[in-house]
Amino acid sequence: MRFRPEQHLCRQSDIRAVRAEGRRFDARAFTAWWLPRDPAAVPVSLPRVCVIASTAAVGHAILRNRAKRRLRELFREHQALLPAHCDYLLIARAAMNQRPYPELEKLFVHACGQIATAALPKNV
Protein backbone atom coordinates (compact mmCIF):
# COMPACT_ATOMS: atom_id res chain seq x y z
CA MET A 1 0.00 0.00 0.00
CA ARG A 2 1.25 3.48 -0.83
CA PHE A 3 2.19 6.05 1.77
CA ARG A 4 -0.08 8.89 0.66
CA PRO A 5 0.51 12.61 1.31
CA GLU A 6 -2.66 12.83 3.42
CA GLN A 7 -1.14 10.23 5.76
CA HIS A 8 1.66 12.58 6.81
CA LEU A 9 1.07 14.02 10.26
CA CYS A 10 2.53 17.51 9.77
CA ARG A 11 0.92 19.99 12.15
CA GLN A 12 2.85 20.63 15.34
CA SER A 13 -0.41 20.74 17.28
CA ASP A 14 -1.33 17.23 16.07
CA ILE A 15 2.15 15.87 16.85
CA ARG A 16 2.11 17.43 20.33
CA ALA A 17 -1.35 16.00 20.98
CA VAL A 18 -0.17 12.48 20.11
CA ARG A 19 2.81 12.89 22.45
CA ALA A 20 0.85 14.48 25.30
CA GLU A 21 -2.41 12.52 25.21
CA GLY A 22 -1.45 9.33 23.38
CA ARG A 23 -0.22 5.97 24.54
CA ARG A 24 3.29 4.62 24.03
CA PHE A 25 4.84 1.32 23.00
CA ASP A 26 8.59 0.84 23.40
CA ALA A 27 10.13 -1.53 20.86
CA ARG A 28 13.79 -0.79 21.79
CA ALA A 29 14.78 0.20 18.24
CA PHE A 30 11.95 2.73 18.09
CA THR A 31 9.13 4.10 20.18
CA ALA A 32 5.59 4.24 18.83
CA TRP A 33 3.02 6.70 20.19
CA TRP A 34 -0.61 6.54 19.07
CA LEU A 35 -3.76 8.51 19.70
CA PRO A 36 -7.26 7.73 18.41
CA ARG A 37 -8.54 10.77 16.54
CA ASP A 38 -11.98 12.30 16.29
CA PRO A 39 -13.40 11.29 12.88
CA ALA A 40 -15.45 14.51 12.71
CA ALA A 41 -12.33 16.67 13.08
CA VAL A 42 -10.15 14.72 10.63
CA PRO A 43 -12.09 12.88 7.90
CA VAL A 44 -9.05 10.92 6.63
CA SER A 45 -9.83 7.19 6.78
CA LEU A 46 -6.17 6.17 6.69
CA PRO A 47 -3.69 6.12 9.58
CA ARG A 48 -1.55 9.26 9.79
CA VAL A 49 2.08 9.14 10.89
CA CYS A 50 5.03 11.36 11.78
CA VAL A 51 8.54 9.89 11.84
CA ILE A 52 11.19 11.52 14.05
CA ALA A 53 14.90 10.84 14.46
CA SER A 54 16.85 13.20 16.71
CA THR A 55 20.57 13.90 16.60
CA ALA A 56 20.96 12.96 20.27
CA ALA A 57 19.24 9.58 19.88
CA VAL A 58 20.35 8.48 16.41
CA GLY A 59 23.37 10.52 15.33
CA HIS A 60 24.38 12.63 12.37
CA ALA A 61 22.24 13.37 9.31
CA ILE A 62 23.09 10.23 7.33
CA LEU A 63 22.09 7.98 10.23
CA ARG A 64 18.93 10.00 10.97
CA ASN A 65 17.82 9.85 7.34
CA ARG A 66 18.45 6.11 7.16
CA ALA A 67 16.50 5.49 10.37
CA LYS A 68 13.57 7.57 9.09
CA ARG A 69 13.58 5.78 5.71
CA ARG A 70 13.48 2.42 7.47
CA LEU A 71 10.61 3.46 9.76
CA ARG A 72 8.60 4.92 6.88
CA GLU A 73 9.06 1.72 4.88
CA LEU A 74 8.02 -0.43 7.83
CA PHE A 75 4.91 1.71 8.25
CA ARG A 76 4.14 1.61 4.53
CA GLU A 77 4.42 -2.19 4.37
CA HIS A 78 2.44 -2.92 7.53
CA GLN A 79 -0.03 -0.06 7.88
CA ALA A 80 -2.91 -2.48 7.28
CA LEU A 81 -2.14 -4.01 10.70
CA LEU A 82 -2.73 -0.68 12.46
CA PRO A 83 -6.12 0.83 13.31
CA ALA A 84 -6.96 3.45 10.68
CA HIS A 85 -8.64 5.78 13.17
CA CYS A 86 -5.38 6.67 14.95
CA ASP A 87 -2.50 9.10 14.54
CA TYR A 88 1.00 7.67 15.06
CA LEU A 89 4.33 9.11 16.08
CA LEU A 90 7.34 6.87 15.39
CA ILE A 91 10.56 7.92 17.11
CA ALA A 92 13.80 6.24 15.99
CA ARG A 93 16.60 5.23 18.31
CA ALA A 94 20.22 4.33 17.60
CA ALA A 95 19.35 0.62 17.43
CA MET A 96 17.24 1.36 14.35
CA ASN A 97 20.41 1.45 12.24
CA GLN A 98 22.22 -1.34 14.09
CA ARG A 99 19.65 -4.10 13.64
CA PRO A 100 18.99 -6.01 10.42
CA TYR A 101 15.80 -5.10 8.57
CA PRO A 102 14.03 -8.49 9.11
CA GLU A 103 14.48 -8.09 12.87
CA LEU A 104 13.05 -4.56 12.70
CA GLU A 105 10.15 -5.91 10.70
CA LYS A 106 9.37 -8.46 13.43
CA LEU A 107 9.54 -5.74 16.07
CA PHE A 108 7.22 -3.50 14.05
CA VAL A 109 4.66 -6.26 13.43
CA HIS A 110 4.69 -7.08 17.14
CA ALA A 111 4.20 -3.39 17.97
CA CYS A 112 1.30 -3.23 15.49
CA GLY A 113 -0.38 -6.16 17.22
CA GLN A 114 0.03 -4.56 20.64
CA ILE A 115 -1.28 -1.20 19.40
CA ALA A 116 -4.24 -2.79 17.60
CA THR A 117 -5.22 -4.65 20.77
CA ALA A 118 -4.86 -1.57 22.98
CA ALA A 119 -6.64 0.75 20.53
CA LEU A 120 -9.79 -1.36 20.29
CA PRO A 121 -12.84 0.55 21.50
CA LYS A 122 -13.91 -0.64 24.92
CA ASN A 123 -17.46 -2.01 25.13
CA VAL A 124 -19.27 -0.56 28.11
What pLDDT score was predicted for residue 6?
A: 85
At position 8, the amino acid (one-letter code) is H
Count the neighbouring beta carbons within 10 Å of the beta carbon of residue 65.
12
Question: 77 by DSSP, 3-state: which?
Answer: helix
Fold of 5-118: Ribosomal Protein S5; domain 2 (3.30.230)
For the whole model, what pTM was predicted?
0.90
Question: Higher pLDDT residue, 96 or 85?
Answer: 96
What pLDDT score was predicted for residue 86?
A: 92
| Mean pLDDT score across all residues of the chain | 91
Local confidence band at 109 (pLDDT 50, 70, 90 cut-offs):
very high
What pLDDT score was predicted for residue 75?
A: 96
In angstroms, the CA 64 to CA 71 distance is 11
Among 88, 76, 84, residue whose Cα is nearest residue 52: 88
In angstroms, the CA 100 to CA 103 distance is 6
Q: What is the mean pLDDT of residues 50-76?
A: 96
